Amino acid sequence: MTTELLACSLIRDIPDFPQKGIIFKDITPVLQNPTAFAEVIDRLCSFAETVSPDIIIGIESRGFILGAPIALKLGKGFIPVRKIGKLPHKTVKCEYALEYGTSAVEMHSDAIMPGQRVLIIDDLLATGGTSAASITLVEELGGVVAGIAFMIELEFLKGRSVLAGYEVESLIKF
């Protein structure tokens, strides 16, 4: 585990959530602590600046919590990637595998302009399925994935391998 961030000491394990056998990494205590939350946003912004994105994507739902303040701080727009049926306008969709099942995500079909550099943000890298699906959506619309950033990476699930060829940053590794 990375130890230089205050956030490391605040992340709590919730056993058997969302189903038996899964240990959920709860970032709520990090969000409740303004110093730790600011530290996470500042570190993710530092990475973002190295990849020069034009726009920020946040993956539902905790990616919204991290991605929106990053976009605001960098003076960039924000795009939500959501679960099926949550966006009101015409969408593009991609299905993917989770560590405990399957799902799909959507993005508005007019969210990204061809050639636009995109930074994808989420709270946790596990198997990489949600991020890979988000990459597919970005590229389907002609965008360029500038980078992908996470607060937490579960290294034992090897999700980074699914994202090979992309610039990936994670602040805390378990």
Looking at residue 85, what is its pLDDT?
93
Residues 6+ apart with CB under 8 A from 171: 2, 5, 7, 40, 43, 44, 150, 151, 152
Give the integer Cα–Cα distance in Å for 42 and 49.
11
Measured between alpha carbons, how far is residue 131 from residues 15, 155, 166 in Å? 24, 15, 11
Q: Give the integer Cα–Cα distance in Å for 19 and 39.
A: 31
What φ, ψ does residue 43 adopt, rounded to 5°?
-65, -40
Q: What is the pLDDT of residues 81-107, one digit of tens each?
A: 999 999 999 999 999 876 666 889 999
Q: Kindly state the helix (H) or strand (E) to which residue 149 belongs, with its residue range.
A: strand 144-153
Of the residues 39, 60, 99, 140, which is catalytic?
A: 99
Helices (H) and strands (E) in the chain, counts: 6, 9
**Residue 43 is among the residues annotated as catalytic for this protein:** no
The architecture that CATH gives domain 6-173 is: 3-Layer(aba) Sandwich (3.40)
Catalytic site includes residue 99: yes
- pTM reported for the whole predicted model: 0.94
Tens place of pLDDT per residue across the chain (174 aa): 455 889 999 999 999 998 898 899 999 999 999 999 999 999 999 999 999 999 999 999 999 999 999 999 999 999 999 999 999 999 999 998 766 668 899 999 999 999 999 999 999 999 899 999 999 999 999 999 999 999 999 999 999 999 999 999 999 999
Active-site residue identified among 43, 62, 82, 160: 62
Rounded to whole angstroms, how far apart are CA atoms 104 and 25?
21
